[in-house]
């Protein structure tokens, strides 16, 4: 990684935290500080952040001297998903809020502890796995999060357990008084042959700047399955999400990332397929307008033979928005008989919207099936005319075509409430009001 | 109903229509025939409002309105329907869904209440019979993976749903086997009435055995060079287009 920006900003950030209470995970925090010092923050010369000027955005908008973070929020009702019956775990300004959270699953299905107390009780699994999946030594924002996470949760699903109610993780940053810098952390272990659904949503109140880093490590054990949904639809947020998923033998992951609003959003979504006969489907949809920048960097790393991965990311960019997609597929030498597919399709609605897309396949095994494709274009004029020639207004025809393009991504979703919610958000954004 | 006077149109820099004159009244079926490249499909496209074509002269009035000033969707709402020669495939948009939107936007334009789901389904079932089309086909993505015959039947189904005043069938017979042709023609015939009119654009006489025209016009090099009754189509079939070409050359 290029280190041009090792300058003042990194120093400012590091010196803003000396008084932070390093209660737990001190070794990994200290190491992360060292990593961050040596990495610096990414500049426009840093390959992995070439198109996404987060550092500039931070320099311009965030002050590192003032770290007050308090909130007098009295209700979270506006941020819930209608009809969703779930365990609601709420983070306010990066810290877990027991007051707003509501746990409905029995302890036998779902163990929830704060990371802090799990470290204090010297949980063996935690000590073995924490910070092992995420790439703190290579990514500045992952190391920033590892160094300074304020609070986090450790979710443990025992073996052979179907967690009936999903977990809905709601991050609210309250910037009504002051700017917010928040670092949240999550570790999840899904037991052998267990089933779990995770839904994440990010919101804010107030108009002061927000910078949020969120790092999650999810371990999916043998025969287990994970259904994962992420909704980023908050205008005020600037965010770096690091999601690292580890799959063991015969496990399944279906993941959906919906990005619709934000100042600058970066998702590092990494799946390590470290087992045989695994299946991973990961879909992304970014529908952007205004000046939003949304960058999805994905990695699927096939480390074992006979697994299948399928990635579908689609984007619709309007106004001055900017989409970035980078999809890496690694197939290691021992991962024979791998099937890995990737597709990235984009529609630019305005002349000033942009997309930078880059598929990156690195294949060391010889007996594999891999394909990738990416397209970027405008709406199909012929299809538009066809619909208009039936009496449909141009605006409706456009909405209809864009909606059809987008809906494809959410079609396989299993959770009906979340799917319905996604569908509503997409319809509203695309003005499909018929 | 439709009056075309000295209509001229070009695409890019190529002049295609060089002065078309045509008068169509309610209750009439007009066939437009002509060799390839004579401007038949261009005429259909210009009437439907395709933007690639630039109208450089002449005028077209439809039900007393200047047609060329209307957007394609407004023409459709006013009662013009074009069955496409090559219907587009639109992934993710089903015929049922987009027809419901189309029908209701047309109804609102005409000052009618939008149709509710039950009434719409009833209407749809009735019209499906007309072109012998299956509902499962209409629930699928528009024309995606449809055979040639299914695509054309879908066009006529849409026409039946929207009940246009003027239907323009652009080479509806192309790519159809004889059974599909019969079904499509049947559908069109059942929709004919004293209140509507049809323009059948075709290269071959074959379709006119099934959809019998009142008038036949031969288009050549952007002009109507000969008009007559259905016998003209038979004569063309017998003598071929060279006959017309020679006649024009002599004149």
User: Which H, E and C letters describe chain B, residue by residue?
Assistant: CEEEEEEEEEECCEEEEEEEEEEECCCCEEEEECCCCCCHHHHHHHHHCCCCEEEEEEEEEECCEEHHHCCHHHHHHHCEEEECCCCCCEEEEEHHHHHHHHHHHHHHHCCCCCCCHHHHHHHHHHHHHHCCCCHHHHHCEECCCCCHHHHHHHHHHHHHHHCCCEEEEECCCCCCCHHHHHHHHHHHHHHCCCCCEEEEECCCCHHHHHCCCCEEEEEECCEEEEEECHHHHHHHHHHCHHHHHHHHHHC
Residue A154 has pLDDT above 80, yes or no: yes
**pLDDT score for B179:** 87
Q: Give the nearest partner residue to B105 out of A385, A389, A392, using CB atoms.
A: A392
A125 vs B: CB within 8 A: no
Q: Please, which residues have CB within 8 angstroms of residue B94's CB and are 6 or more apart in sequence?
A: B138, B139, B140, B141, B142
Task: Please answer yes or no on whether A383 and B88 come within 8 Å at the CB atom.
Answer: yes
**B172 neighbors B207 (Cβ within 8 angstroms):** yes
**What percent of chain A has pLDDT above 90?**
82
Mean pLDDT computed over every residue of chain A: 92
Q: Which of A60-74, A318-332, B164-178 has the lowest mean pLDDT?
A: A60-74
Residue A109 has pLDDT above 50, yes or no: yes
> Which residues of B fall within a CB distance of 8 Å from A347?
none
> Which residues of A fall within a CB distance of 8 Å from B166?
none
**pLDDT score for A7:** 58
> Which residues of B fall within a CB distance of 8 Å from A384?
none
> Which residues of A fall within a CB distance of 8 Å from B103?
391
B110 vs A: CB within 8 A: no
Distance, CA of A384 to CA of A397 (rounded, Å): 6
What residue in A sits closest to B87 (Cα-Cα)?
A: A386
* Selected residue of A375, A390, A409 to mutate for chain B interface (largest B Cβ count, 10 A): A390
What residue in A sits closest to B164 (Cα-Cα)?
A: A390
Task: Please answer yes or no on whether A390 and B98 come within 8 Å at the CB atom.
Answer: yes
Task: Please answer yes or no on whether B92 and A382 come within 8 Å at the CB atom.
Answer: no
As a whole number, mean pLDDT of residues A264-289 equals 98
Question: Nearest C-alpha of chain B: how many angstroms from A371?
Answer: 21
B115 vs A: CB within 8 A: no
Residue A421 has pLDDT above 70, yes or no: yes
> Which residues of B fall within a CB distance of 8 Å from A388?
49, 71-73, 76
**pLDDT score for A15:** 73
Q: What is the pLDDT confidence band of residue A19, given thresholds at 50, 70 and 90?
A: very low
The candidate with the shortest Cα–Cα distance to B156, out of B209, B216, B112, B211, is B211
Q: What is the pLDDT confidence band of residue A232, given thresholds at 50, 70 and 90?
A: very high
Task: Please answer yes or no on whether B77 and A394 come within 8 Å at the CB atom.
Answer: no
Residue A347 has pLDDT above 80, yes or no: yes
Question: Nearest C-alpha of chain A: how many angstroms from B77?
Answer: 5
As a whole number, mean pLDDT of residues A46-56 equals 92
As a whole number, mean pLDDT of residues A186-192 equals 97
B108 vs A: CB within 8 A: no
A66 vs B: CB within 8 A: no
> Which residues of B fall within a CB distance of 8 Å from A385?
50-51, 72
As a whole number, mean pLDDT of residues A299-319 equals 98
Residue A2 has pLDDT above 50, yes or no: no
Distance, CA of B238 to CA of B235 (rounded, Å): 5
As a whole number, mean pLDDT of residues A99-111 equals 96
* Selected residue of B102, B105, B144, B146 to mutate for chain A interface (largest A Cβ count, 10 A): B102
**pLDDT score for B206:** 87
* Selected residue of B74, B75, B93, B110 to mutate for chain A interface (largest A Cβ count, 10 A): B93
Task: Please answer yes or no on whether B92 and A408 come within 8 Å at the CB atom.
Answer: yes
* Selected residue of B78, B101, B117 to mutate for chain A interface (largest A Cβ count, 10 A): B101
Residue bearing the bigger pLDDT, A162 or B236:
A162
Q: Give the nearest partner residue to A400 out of B76, B98, B162, using CB atoms.
A: B98
> Which residues of B fall within a CB distance of 8 Å from A386?
84, 87-88, 90
Torsion sign (Cα): B47, B48, B53, B55: positive
Task: Please answer yes or no on whether B158 and A387 come within 8 Å at the CB atom.
Answer: no
Residue A1 has pLDDT above 90, yes or no: no
Residue A267 has pLDDT above 70, yes or no: yes
B6-28, pLDDT tens digit by residue? Answer: 999 999 989 999 999 999 999 99
Question: Nearest C-alpha of chain A: how many angstroms from B48?
Answer: 7
- 10 Å CB burial of residue A174 (0-12, 13-18, 19+) is buried
Model pTM score: 0.91
A22-37, pLDDT tens digit by residue? Answer: 566 678 888 898 899 8
Question: Nearest C-alpha of chain B: how many angstroms from A46?
Answer: 39
- 10 Å CB burial of residue A244 (0-12, 13-18, 19+) is buried
**pLDDT score for A66:** 58
If one counts every other C-beta atom within 10 angstroms of the C-beta of residue A23, the result is 12
Question: Nearest C-alpha of chain A: how many angstroms from B42?
Answer: 15
What residue in A sits closest to B47 (Cα-Cα)?
A: A389
Q: Give the nearest partner residue to A400 out of B51, B72, B101, using CB atoms.
A: B101
A377 vs B: CB within 8 A: no
**pLDDT score for A67:** 63
Residue A96 has pLDDT above 80, yes or no: yes
How far from A49 is each of A18, B237, B240, CA to CA, in Å? Answer: 27, 68, 67
Question: Nearest C-alpha of chain B: how many angstroms from A388?
Answer: 5
B49-102, pLDDT tens digit by residue? Answer: 999 999 999 999 999 999 999 999 999 999 999 999 999 999 999 999 999 999
Residue B250 has pLDDT above 90, yes or no: no
**What percent of chain A has pLDDT above 70?**
95
If one counts every other C-beta atom within 10 angstroms of the C-beta of residue A153, the result is 22
Question: Nearest C-alpha of chain B: how many angstroms from A319?
Answer: 24
Pull the structure tokens for residue A175.
């910037």
Q: What is the pLDDT confidence band of residue B237, given thresholds at 50, 70 and 90?
A: confident
Q: Report A:44-63 residues touching B (Cβ under 8 A).
A: none
User: Which H, E and C letters describe chain A, residue by residue?
Assistant: CCCCECCHHHHHHHHCCCCCCCCCCHHHHHHHHHHHHHHCECCCCCHHHCCCCHHHHHHHHCCCCCCCCCCCCCCCHHHCCCCCCCEEEEEECCEEEEEEEECCCCCCCCEEEEHHHHHHCCCHHHHHHCCCCCCCCCCHHHHHHHHHCCEEEEEEECCCCECCCCEEEEEEEEECCCCEEEEEEEEEEECCCCEEEEEEEEEEEECCCEEEEEEEEEEECCCCEEEEEEEEECCCEEEEEEEEEEECCCCEEEEEEEEEECCEEEEEEEEEECCCCCEEEEEEEEEECCCCEEEEEEEEEECCCCCEEEEEEEEEECCCCEEEEEEEEEECCCCCCCEEEEEEEEEECCCCCEEEEEEEEEECCCCCEEEEEEEEECCCHHHHHHHHCCCCCHHHHHHHHHHHHHHHHHCCCCCHHHHHHHHHHHHHHCCCCC
CB pairs under 8 A between A and B: 79
Residue A339 has pLDDT above 60, yes or no: yes
Q: What is the pLDDT confidence band of residue A4, given thresholds at 50, 70 and 90?
A: very low
As a whole number, mean pLDDT of residues A274-301 equals 97
Q: Give the nearest partner residue to B76 out of A380, A391, A404, using CB atoms.
A: A391
Task: Please answer yes or no on whether B101 and A392 come within 8 Å at the CB atom.
Answer: yes
* Selected residue of A345, A383, A387, A389 to mutate for chain B interface (largest B Cβ count, 10 A): A389
């Amino acid at each position: 990684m290029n280190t041009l920006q090792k300058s003042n900003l990194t120093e400012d950030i590091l010196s803003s935290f000396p008084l932070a209470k390093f209660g737990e995970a001190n070794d990994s925090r200290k190491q992360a500080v060292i990593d961050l010092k040596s990495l610096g923050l990414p500049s426009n010369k840093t390959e992995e952040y070439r198109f996404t000027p987060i550092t500039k955005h931070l320099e311009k908008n965030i002050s590192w001297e003032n770290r007050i973070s308090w909130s007098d929020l009295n209700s979270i009702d506006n941020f819930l998903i209608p009809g969703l019956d779930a365990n609601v775990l709420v983070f306010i300004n990066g810290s877990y809020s027991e007051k707003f959270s509501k746990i409905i699953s029995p302890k036998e299905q779902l163990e929830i502890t704060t990371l802090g107390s799990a470290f204090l009780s010297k949980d063996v699994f935690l000590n073995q796995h924490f910070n092992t999946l995420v790439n703190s030594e290579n990514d500045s924002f992952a190391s920033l999060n590892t160094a300074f996470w304020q609070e986090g949760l450790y979710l443990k699903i025992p073996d052979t357990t179907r967690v009936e109610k999903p977990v809905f993780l709601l991050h609210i940053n309250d910037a009504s008084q002051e700017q917010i810098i928040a670092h949240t952390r999550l570790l999840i272990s899904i037991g052998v042959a267990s089933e779990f659904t995770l839904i994440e949503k990010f919101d804010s109140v107030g108009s002061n700047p927000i910078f949020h880093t969120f790092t999650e490590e999810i371990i999916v054990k043998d025969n287990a399955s994970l259904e994962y949904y992420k909704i980023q639809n908050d205008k005020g947020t600037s965010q770096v999400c690091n999601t690292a998923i580890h799959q063991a033998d015969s496990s399944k992951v279906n993941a959906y990332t919906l990005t619709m609003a934000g100042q600058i959003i970066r998702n590092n979504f990494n799946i390590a397929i470290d087992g045989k006969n695994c299946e991973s489907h990961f879909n992304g949809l970014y529908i952007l307008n205004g000046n939003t920048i949304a960058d999805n960097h994905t990695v699927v790393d096939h480390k074992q033979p006979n697994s299948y991965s399928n990635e579908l990311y689609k984007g619709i960019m309007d106004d001055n928005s900017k989409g970035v997609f980078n999809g890496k597929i690694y197939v290691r030498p021992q991962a024979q008989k791998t099937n890995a597919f990737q597709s990235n399709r984009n529609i630019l609605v305005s002349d000033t919207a942009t997309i930078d897309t880059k598929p990156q396949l690195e294949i060391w095994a010889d007996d594999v099936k891999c394909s990738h494709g990416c397209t970027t274009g405008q709406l199909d004029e012929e299809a538009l005319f066809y619909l208009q020639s039936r009496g449909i207004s141009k605006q409706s025809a456009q909405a209809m075509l864009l909606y059809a393009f987008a809906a494809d991504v959410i079609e396989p979703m299993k959770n009906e409430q979340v799917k319905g919610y996604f569908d509503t958000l997409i319809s509203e954004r695309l003005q499909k009001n018929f | 109903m439709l009056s075309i006077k000295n209509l001229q149109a070009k695409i890019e820099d190529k002049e295609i229509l060089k002065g078309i004159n045509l008068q169509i009244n309610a209750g009439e079926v007009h066939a437009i025939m002509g060799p390839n490249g004579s401007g038949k499909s261009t005429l259909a496209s210009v009437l439907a409002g395709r933007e690639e074509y630039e109208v450089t002269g002449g005028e077209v009035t439809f039900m007393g309105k200047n047609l060329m000033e209307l957007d394609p969707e407004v023409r459709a709402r006013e009662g013009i329907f074009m069955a496409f020669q090559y219907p587009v495939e639109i992934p993710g948009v089903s015929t049922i869904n987009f027809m419901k939107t189309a029908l209701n936007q047309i109804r609102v334009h005409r000052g009618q209440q939008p149709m509710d789901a039950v009434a719409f389904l009833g209407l749809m079932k009735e019209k499906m019979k007309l072109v012998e089309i299956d509902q499962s086909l209409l629930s699928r993505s528009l024309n995606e993976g449809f055979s040639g015959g299914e695509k054309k039947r879908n066009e006529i189904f849409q026409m039946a749903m929207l009940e246009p005043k003027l239907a323009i069938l652009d080479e509806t017979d192309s790519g159809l086997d004889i059974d599909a042709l019969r079904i499509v023609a049947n559908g069109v015939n059942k929709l004919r009435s004293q209140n509507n009119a049809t323009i059948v654009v075709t290269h071959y006489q074959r379709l006119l055995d099934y959809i019998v025209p009142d008038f036949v016009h031969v288009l050549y090099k952007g002009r109507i060079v000969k008009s007559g009754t259905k016998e003209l189509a038979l004569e063309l079939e017998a003598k071929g287009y060279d006959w017309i070409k020679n006649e024009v050359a002599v004149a």
